[in-house]
Structure 1
Amino acid sequence: MAEEIRAEMVANVWKIVAKTGDEITDADPIVILESMKMEIPVHAEDGGTVAELHVTEGQVVQEGDLIATIE
């Protein structure tokens, strides 16, 4: 079952760390968001394969926006 990773706050996508097809663990960041000069790494709940990234660097995400899909 696919896991949807969503933004928990309004922020800028500062850096995309993972790419489509990468195998990740729950400790690996997928993207790093920036809000109020703080860097916030975004992780998956469980490990898996990055099926799709739904954001680009520099994009502003709103709370609840889809960031990535993990299978």
Structure 2
Amino acid sequence: MAGVVVEVRVRPGDRVTPGQEVVVLESMKMQIPVTAGQEGTVERVLVEPGQFVNEGDVLLVVA
């Protein structure tokens, strides 16, 4: 879903687990949490608050 990044909840070096909220988007006046799909360490965050993103955009890199 396309929307605006409201909050980035992780930083490079953070460990994440499947289902953990990593980014919050706002679309159609609703806040939508984006969750990690895999366990790993955040290598890079590619978005920042206020940035518009489209469905399918890469928000962060987890390895």
User: TM-score surpassing 0.5?
Assistant: yes
Highest relative contact order (Cα 8 Å, sep 6+), 1 or 2? 1
Unpaired segments ≥5 residues, structure 2: none
Aligned 1:54-69 pairs, distance under 5 A: 54-69=46-61
Unpaired segments ≥5 residues, structure 1: 1-8
**For this pair of structures, how many residues does the alignment match?**
63
Residues of 2 paired with 1:23 and 1:57: CA distance? 21
Identity %: 41
Runs of 4+ in 1 over 2 A off after TM superposition: none
Task: Output the aligned Cα RMSD.
Answer: 0.9
Partner of 2:44: 52
1:29 matches 2:21? yes
Specify the code of the residue in structure 2 equivalent to 1:40. Answer: I
Residues of 2 paired with 1:64 and 1:32: CA distance? 15
Residues of 1 paired with 2:28 and 2:49: CA distance? 17
Q: TM-score, normalised by structure 1?
A: 0.82
